[in-house]
């Protein structure tokens, strides 16, 4: 029987970076995020010849190896190998087919979300009694510990749990689901706009620079991280109260504070798009991930949103609307 999985990508509104060591261990981190209707997909078909085959449609890359062998990390679909090594189970073998709605480096958490989809597939295939917290942590461990890819916790937990969440990071991770009114969600997604900058980025390099600055005692980086945490709290409050104009303005403040964390976060293309958007009527905006490229999220009243879209398109941006997804990781058998 074929096993399928789907995990949603996320938008991070504020707090990004406070989930990256060593900040959460020393001060406690907090992130406000929501999942959207873009996904990482996986399909697993059992086989009986003790072989594992993997095909990534996004990367145009395939692998085939012995299910009884320890997979080696050689730069070819290592995320998949890390998940299999963590949850290999029996050695009967299977075929994996993987696809994502966004490329790596988009700022939507695509790589971490794919790992969550993979862990979900293997949990369902091996019928493992794993909780959502355990799924998210296994995906985190595979990416950050086994592969030593720099980054935080938020993407794995957002993709696993789904919906609007205020996620706290410290000695342990606590996911606080937010009961946002349907009318507020409808209005928010009507007033949000995503703009693709045309370039992806290597988040690990930016996060490495941010971490080095923090451990080196750079006060500007520390101040930016502390402000991100405070803004996550303030934006959560505005969202729950339905004060979306305040939410939009705070989104812009989150971008201002984010840039204090590393000079690699902002680029000329991002700054130009931001200036164009503000002149066209946006209340605020920020990059959706570590920075350096990917998507920029803008908040703009619906009456002006078409002008914002036209202005960003003229400068070469690719704009799309936002639709939220309340469900997290989903698996089923077909």
What residue spans define the domains of the chain?
A: 3-179, 182-321
What does the alpha-carbon distance between residue 74 and residue 298 come to, in Å, rounded to a whole number? 38
- Looking at the DSSP bridge assignments, the partners of residue 92 are none
Contacts of 139 (CB under 8 A, 6+ apart): 83, 112, 115, 116, 118, 119, 156, 159, 160
Q: Do domains 3-179 and 182-321 have the same CATH topology?
A: no
- How far apart are alpha carbons 330 and 23 in whole angstroms? 31
155 counts as catalytic: yes
Query: 257-284 as b/e, with b when 16 or more CB fall inside 10 Å?
Result: bbbbbbebbbbebbeebbebbbebbbbb
Q: Which of 100, 171, 112, 168 is nearest to 142 (CA)?
A: 112
First-to-last CA distance in the chain? 6
Active-site pick, 19, 78, 155, 209: 155
Which neighbouring-strand residues pair with 286? 297
The pLDDT, as a whole number, for residue 1 is: 87
pLDDT at 203: 67
Report how far residue 289's alpha carbon sits from residue 294's, in angstroms, rounded to the nearest whole number: 8
* CATH class as words, domain 182-321: alpha beta
Cα separations in angstroms, 99 against 42, 58, 59, 96, 302: 7, 6, 9, 10, 32
User: Are the CB atoms for 280 and 186 separated by under 8 Å?
Assistant: no
Q: What is the pLDDT along the chain (334 residues), one digit of tens a residue?
A: 899 999 999 999 999 999 999 999 999 999 999 999 999 999 999 998 889 999 999 889 999 999 888 888 999 999 999 999 998 766 789 999 999 988 777 889 999 999 999 999 999 999 999 999 999 999 999 999 999 998 899 999 999 999 999 999 999 999 999 999 999 999 999 999 999 987 765 666 788 888 888 888 889 999 999 999 999 999 999 999 999 999 999 999 999 999 998 888 888 889 999 999 999 999 999 999 877 788 999 999 999 999 999 999 999 999 999 999 999 999 999 9
Q: How many CB atoms lie within 10 A of CB 318?
A: 12
Picking from 261, 257, 250, 301, the residue whose alpha carbon sits closest to that of residue 277 is 301
What pLDDT does 291 receive?
A: 77
Task: Tell me the fold of 3-179.
Answer: Ribosomal Protein S5; domain 2 (3.30.230)
In the beta sheet, which residues pair with residue 194? 297, 320
Pick the closest to residue 236 from 16, 28, 18, 31 (CA basis): 31
């Amino acid at each position: 029987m074929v096993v399928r999985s789907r995990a949603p990508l996320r938008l991070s509104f504020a707090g990004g970076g406070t989930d990256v060591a060593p900040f959460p261990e020393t001060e406690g981190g907090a992130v406000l995020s929501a999942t959207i209707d873009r996904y990482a997909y996986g399909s697993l078909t059992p086989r009986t010849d003790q072989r594992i085959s993997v095909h990534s449609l996004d990367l145009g890359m395939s692998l085939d190896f012995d299910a009884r062998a320890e997979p080696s990390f050689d730069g070819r679909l290592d995320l998949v190998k890390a998940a299999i090594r963590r949850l290999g189970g029996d050695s009967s073998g299977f075929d994996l087919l993987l696809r994502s709605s966004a490329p790596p480096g988009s700022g939507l958490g695509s790589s971490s979300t794919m790992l969550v989809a993979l862990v979900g597939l293997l949990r369902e295939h091996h019928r493992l009694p794993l909780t959502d917290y355990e799924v998210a942590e296994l995906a985190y461990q595979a990416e950050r510990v086994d592969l030593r890819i720099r980054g935080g916790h938020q993407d794995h937990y957002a993709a696993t749990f789904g919906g609007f969440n205020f996620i706290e990071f410290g000695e342990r991770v606590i996911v606080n689901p937010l009961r946002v009114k349907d009318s507020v969600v409808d209005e928010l997604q009507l007033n949000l706009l995503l703009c693709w900058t045309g370039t992806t980025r290597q988040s690990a390099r930016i996060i490495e620079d941010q971490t080095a600055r923090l451990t080196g005692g750079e006060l500007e980086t520390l101040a930016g991280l502390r402000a991100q945490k405070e803004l996550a709290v303030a934006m959560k409050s505005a969202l729950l109260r339905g004060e979306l104009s305040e939410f939009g303005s705070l989104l812009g403040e989150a971008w201002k504070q984010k840039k204090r964390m590393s000079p690699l976060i902002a680029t000329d293309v991002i700054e130009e798009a931001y200036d164009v958007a503000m002149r066209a009527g946006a209340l605020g905006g920020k990059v959706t991930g570590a920075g350096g490229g990917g998507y920029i999220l803008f908040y703009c009243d619906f009456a002006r949103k078409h002008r914002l879209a036209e202005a960003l398109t003229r400068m070469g941006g690719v704009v799309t609307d936002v639709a939220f997804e309340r469900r997290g990781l989903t698996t089923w058998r077909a």
